[in-house]
Each structure stands twice: as C-alpha cells, then as structure tokens.
Amino acid sequence: MNDAACLFCRIVERKLPADIVAEEEGLLAFKDVNPQAPIHLLIVPTEHVPSVADLTERQTPLIGRAIHFANRLAHRHQLTPAGYRLVINCGPQAGQSVSHLHLHLLGGRPLRWPPG
Ligand code: AMP
C-alpha cells in the first residue's frame, strides 16, 4: 500500500524523477539528491513503511534483504574492500527527514565516526 503524499512512494511509482540504479523484488535503489559521499545511494522498500520502528514482524525480513542488496551495490560500486557505511535514521532526533523507511549506502571517501 503506497502513500500518495510520500516522496519516496512517488519515486517508487515513477511519478517523481530519480536516478534509479537498481531494483529487485520489493526494493528500489536510487542516488541521494544531496550526496554526502562520492557514492550515496538510498535503498527503499517499494511498500510504504514510515520508519524502521514501524516494521511489522511480517515486514522485518525486508531489512535483511535491503542489507544484502546494499552489499551487492557496494561491491558493484567498488566500495570493497575499502569499506562503506549503512545508515538508517529513525525519527526526527536521529535526522530522519523523509517518512519512508530508507537505508543509506555511503562510501568512496573516509567516513568519520561518530558522525556528529
Ligand atoms: P534522512 O535524513 O535519513 O530521512 O534521509 C533522507 C534523504 O533523502 C536525504 O539524504 C535527502 O538528501 C534525500 N532525498 C530527499 N529528496 C530526495 C529525492 N527527491 N531524490 C533523492 N534523494 C532525496
């Protein structure tokens, strides 16, 4: 079930343009419009889930599949063996600005920790 008011649902439905890099069943990967690293992709479920905190037990396997998808994309973008970061922000205090669950894949430069 998609949400007509949701930015990432509109990207999933191809109603809003995005630089889509890959798709597989139930997941879409596209370039972040404001990249924080040379490679900055977002991996989203095609089904609307507002945040990781909203995942039902039925939906939880999506996270494992999203990580597996991200690992393959990292390999495809030559981010291994140097390394990369996977981030899920949950809620406003963590910096979640789009209410559609998304996994950030960041790499291509040294990434500081903690992120601040
Ligand atoms: P977060 O702050 O974790 O919710 O991440 C949301 C991300 O979505 C940010 O890194 C934004 O740059 C990115 N973003 C917002 N709008 C778009 C868009 N239309 N296409 C691609 N990325 C977007």
- The sheet carrying 27-31 orders its strands as 20-24, 27-31, 39-45, 103-107, 84-87
Q: What is the mean pLDDT of the chain?
A: 96
Per-residue pLDDT, 116 = 67
The C-alpha torsion from 84 through 77 and 103 to 70, rounded to 10°, is: -100
Going by pLDDT thresholds of 50, 70 and 90, the confidence category of residue 1 is: low
User: Which residue ranges make up each domain of the chain?
Assistant: 7-107
What pTM did the predictor assign? Answer: 0.96
State yes or no: is 104 an active-site residue: no
Q: Is 7 in the pocket of ligand 1 (CB under 6 A)?
A: yes
Atom 20, ligand 1: residue with shortest CA distance: 33
Kindly give the distance from the C-alpha atom of residue 7 to the centroid of ligand 1, in angstroms, as a whole number. 9
Kindly give the distance from the C-alpha atom of residue 32 to the centroid of ligand 1, in angstroms, as a whole number. 6
CATH code matching the domain that covers 7-107, chosen among 3.30.428.10, 3.50.50.60, 1.10.510.10, 1.10.1660.10 = 3.30.428.10
User: pLDDT tens for residues 25-71?
Assistant: 999 999 999 999 999 999 999 999 999 999 999 999 999 999 999 99
